[in-house]
Amino acid sequence: MKKKFTVVATAAFILAFAFASITLADDVEVNTPISANQAFDAVANQKDPNTGDDARVALIDVRTSAEYFWVGACAKVNSITTGNNFYEPHNGKVTLKWGSFLSFKVASRRHLREVYVPLHMVESIDTEDISIHVPTHIWIESESTKVENENFAQDIESLSADYDVLILMCRSGKRSNTRAFDTTLFKAIYEIDRPDGSDGYGGFQGSSYGDLYNGYRGYPGRNKWVQNIKSVSWSDTGLPVHIGGKPFFPTPTAGE
């Protein structure tokens, strides 16, 4: 009788541990969609974009090196110089408005003042990449193809030492759905995409909308009338872009 009780108790303990593990894993918000605006603010303020709590937030760009370098990386603006003025935008956040104006806030005594600067007046802009580049695939230039980055999971997991909230971003919001790493190492994992389940309308450039006329990815110049579903991408939002990127983090290797 005692032996039977021990077996039952042991089984109950194992089930309880398994349930606790499942509950712990379920507590991690995985691939919760947010807009590019929310992503920028979360990184700039180091706040969880959902709860608003203080957090160590990292924006992870999972695109290939070719996309990252030539198309551009997520950025903040350190300064804007015009003929008569020098601006330091608050939090480095600048957005392109109406296709021809830069909109941002600057500190003005006791409050933040909204500033609009016509693009034709801008002489120089100093941008800085605010993302961490960990590609899901490695671009092979000589073959014009890409292969899986076999170090992806390891590289992402290593970030848990410095960050507890991740925001993943790819070109349109599809590759950022990846869960090929231990998600329980982080408190929350987000991606730039639409929250209504319309997958593929976020990321850095948004959807091509079926390659309709002027339906190429990104802003400015995109004809919004062809968009049956509005993009929440970084480029369509008009947020800063840094061209040229920086070295990989860390150095990825291609699979055999």
With CA atoms as reference, report the closest residue to 96 among 243, 246, 227, 219: 219
pLDDT digits (tens, 9 = 90+) for 155-164: 999 999 999 9
> What pLDDT, on a 0 to 100 scale, did the predictor assign at position 123?
96
Residues 6+ apart with CB under 8 A from 27: none
Evaluate if residue 28 carries a pLDDT over 90: no
How many percent of the chain have pLDDT more than 90?
A: 58
Residues 6+ apart with CB under 8 A from 227: 207, 209
Cα distance between residue 54 and residue 46, in whole Å: 6
- What does the block give as tokens for 211? 């390659």
> What pLDDT, on a 0 to 100 scale, did the predictor assign at position 208?
86
- What does the block give as tokens for 142? 């000589």
Q: Which domains does the chain have, with CATH numbers?
A: 29-75+130-242 (3.40.250.10)
Evaluate if residue 113 carries a pLDDT over 90: yes
pTM for the model: 0.83
pLDDT digits (tens, 9 = 90+) for 202-232: 999 999 888 777 777 776 677 777 788 889 9
Evaluate if residue 188 carries a pLDDT over 60: yes
